Structure 1
């Protein structure tokens, strides 16, 4: 674990014993896997200090050294800050995890749009006096609910992007589907591409992008002919769970776009848990997302069970 603390625009980290002998260059390039352009900018602007002196990027560090990074600079939000009632699942100086309600886009899809979760996140930071660019690390469909991760400064965003690409960030979803799968658990490995006959629909396609969904049957509701499914994603394709489960013959209840019946006002899909390796402290953060709306969809289900 790395001890971290904020001092104004600077982030201070105490070099832990297992970083003994590392260099600042090694931390940025190998541990954090930061982009070369970002590393260059930080280096030429002298935005790293060692024991309050400009850093020698090639000098070995010692346990107990004080590293300071100029991470918390003021910047344009990138979206229009706009108030919406939101539930914060986790927040520190680097990360923000929000519980997205149904009927809200993750981010603006057109200039001037201000009713998205990203707008609400920017407003949340603004009210705390944090004028910094906010970046979503992954997305949820408009009518899918649950946990979404934001980075509060560019270096956190770069590291988290890499963690997501490397599947170190774990996303767990629950879904109510029609019918009962023949297998209690399994993996769907089917590429997903656009449907040429529909502007927003996706489909399993040999020419699509690779997509991997792990699923597990949790519970069946024989009277309603529904099943509760837990899903874990290795990839994050648009509509991935909806497409894969529909392709398997078990579309989401309420998902009219992919063959579900209109028994609910939206698709029964919720991002119930998010597991995040902290980009700096090396802690492992687990966020559970309670159900905000449409309680009839996941009636009797406890989000903290997953």
Structure 2
């Protein structure tokens, strides 16, 4: 059923902190506490940061606080690192429901809100709001079956049952396998198709462009698993870009992009690869690579909690660009009914005709 309602609970000043559990394995026996954490979790904090965390009593060894960084580990011992509560960066908390039935729910995710916990955002996420909402009604919470970048707005699909989750996840996996197996290059094929709106920099000459540049991963500071970029050795990816409006005065092009499933940051990477990065994208430059050149450098200084300082260079979660998951067409995971879901367009991504039509509808609504 179609919906247009919102939900959301304001974020508390600080989150509840986190606890990370480890059990010492045979391969780690004999290591000191600092050796264990500074090598196994180097992406979390530099050496001096882990020393600070140990000395401040944030780590327990078999249930007892240990402040000796040279304590030797024993096989089977339980280690717990207690990350202190912190104030997460500002993020929206209200979320619009676009569609909901007994099996799934489609949300209109606002730009600036992260989907799943990660990095500085452990509580201020879509998942947390879904959990809080479910707790109020004492029901299991829906689970996102795909991701949108923090700066990307629009349709986020979530499953309400285990069966729906498995089938919806398979839709996305099948879409990627079509590309990987080169069985078809038409993004209309499959059980799900996504249509995005974006504002690209510069004037795109061709009315339609098909991009099949592979996407891979490179080492990048403050991104533990690496940064997704255009790479000939990467995995296949397909985007079909259509031009909606060229704005010569603003030197920008309003585009529609169709993808069947998608690699992480695929549209940002593909548009930048074709020479027209999303306007305001702080990370990706022409060629589908990051703007910085010294991607192997790492700042070893640490913040108050012992972790790395907020990166100076842009990271994937930074906002500033205009990208919106506008339409989603899929086969219902249980009934096979074709469902089409639309998320209202931000004003910056509307054509002049659409803007006039929306303004006229709003005026009519006010006059009623």
TM-score normalised over the length of structure 1: 0.64
Look at both structures and tell me which one has the larger radius of gyration over its CA atoms: 2
Call closer, same or farther: CA 1:179–1:280 in 2, change over 3 Å: same
Aligned equivalents of 1:300, 1:119: Cα separation in 2? 37
The answer for the alignment partner of 1:283 in structure 2 is: 337
Aligned equivalents of 1:223, 1:297: Cα separation in 2? 16
Aligned to 2:212, which of 189, 196, 200?
A: 189
Residue 141 of structure 1: CA displacement?
0.4
Partner of 2:219: helix, strand, or coil?
coil
Q: Which runs of 4+ in 1 moved over 4 A?
A: 296-305
The answer for the alignment partner of 1:70 in structure 2 is: none
User: In the alignment, is the contact (CA less than 8 A) between 2:197 and 2:349 conserved in 1?
Assistant: no
The answer for the alignment partner of 2:322 in structure 1 is: 268
Deviations 1:83-140 (A, max 9, x none): 932100011111011000111111112699221111112223333332x253211110
Q: Name structure 2 gaps, 5 residues minimum.
A: 1-91, 176-190, 292-318, 359-368
Root mean square deviation of aligned Cα? 2.7
Call closer, same or farther: CA 1:282–1:235 in 2, change over 3 Å: closer
Partner of 2:169: helix, strand, or coil?
helix
Deviations 1:267-293 (A, max 9, x none): 11100111121111222111111146x
Call closer, same or farther: CA 1:89–1:184 in 2, change over 3 Å: same
User: In the alignment, is the contact (CA less than 8 A) between 2:245 and 2:351 conserved in 1?
Assistant: no
Aligned equivalents of 2:120, 2:152: Cα separation in 1? 23
Residue 215 of structure 1: CA displacement?
0.9
TM-score normalised over the length of structure 2: 0.54
Aligned equivalents of 2:229, 2:209: Cα separation in 1? 20
- The alignment covers a number of residue pairs equal to 217
Residue 251 of structure 1: CA displacement?
0.5
Residue 296 of structure 1: CA displacement?
4.2
The answer for the alignment partner of 1:228 in structure 2 is: 254
Call closer, same or farther: CA 1:249–1:301 in 2, change over 3 Å: farther
Instruction: Say if 2:136 is the partner of 1:127.
Output: yes
Map 1:70-219 to 2 at 5 A: 84-109=93-118, 113-130=122-139, 132-167=140-175, 168-198=191-221, 199=223, 201-219=227-245
